Amino acid sequence: MQLYDHPDCPYGMKVRIVLAEKDMDYEMVTVDVHAGQHRQAEFLKLNPFGRVPVLVDEGCVIYDSTVINEYLDDEYPEPSLRPADSDERARVRLLEDYADTAFTLPAMALQNELVKTPTARDEGRIKAARDVLTKTLEMLNRELEGKEYLGGESFSLADVAFAPMVLQLEKLGVHLDGTNLKNVKMWVQRLAGRASVAVVPRLVA
């Protein structure tokens, strides 16, 4: 099994968390997106969209982190990362999609602004992105009421999807201390304590 990925990609981190959760061996093939390797013909044969991550498992080529993780949960079902109940399974999928599109992307945009010099930063974009993240955290706080994880009592693909950027909130200037987001704060602590999350160096750096 090979995973074509870039170390800093949060979508690749999703897949690495699942592989660690299932204690699976794989070969990491680093794709240097800064050097444009994801746009080279050899990589485009694997993913015509030119994006990481890509998983190759016994000749089966899968791209898109959500599709990869669902494949892994189907093909290697222990431990299961989706609820057995179809209603809850759909809820986990919706939350994962929300994480990918409405949380991770603004978080990445914020991250890109913050690495610029202070004079080059767009403060309007920074504020807008932080506002989006805060609103998402408020929603998650409601979702987590009475639950250990977004999937209920069990760690799920929804938790996996949020983990890469949730654990970088402090670096992004989004602080949980001094807020009423007690459910989110406890959830973040649980995520940070999981061995599968800790194996992703970017998350604990």
- Of 59, 52, 58, 15, nearest to 31 by C-alpha is 52
Which residue is it, tokens 């000749």? 59
Residue whose entry in the numeric block shows the structure tokens 């299932």 = 22
User: What is the enclosing helix (H) or strand (E) of 30?
Assistant: strand 27-30
Phi, psi for residue 103 in degrees, rounded to 5: -120, -55
- What's the predicted TM-score (pTM) here? 0.93
pLDDT of residue 201: 56
Query: Under 8 Å CB-to-CB from 113, ≥6 apart: which residues?
Result: 121, 122, 125, 126, 129
pLDDT tens digits, 14-38 = 999 999 999 999 999 999 998 999 9
What pLDDT is recorded for position 204?
A: 43
State the pLDDT at residue 151: 87
Q: Please say whether the beta carbons of 28 and 201 come within 8 A.
A: no
Q: How are the residues of the chain apportioned to helix, strand and coil, as percentages rounded to the nearest 5?
A: 55, 10, 35
Q: b or e along 111-145 (b: 16 or more beta carbons within 10 Å of the residue's beta carbon)?
A: bebeeeeeeeeeeeebeebbebbeebbeebbebbe
Q: Report pLDDT for 205.
A: 46
| Domains detected in the chain | 2-75 (3.40.30.10), 86-194 (1.20.1050.10)
- Are the CB atoms for 17 and 200 separated by under 8 Å? yes
Output the pLDDT for position 189. Answer: 94
Three-state DSSP class for residue 117: coil
Side chain identity at residue 158, one-letter code = A
Taking 70 as the pLDDT cut, the residues of the chain under it are: 201-205
Amino acid type, 35: A
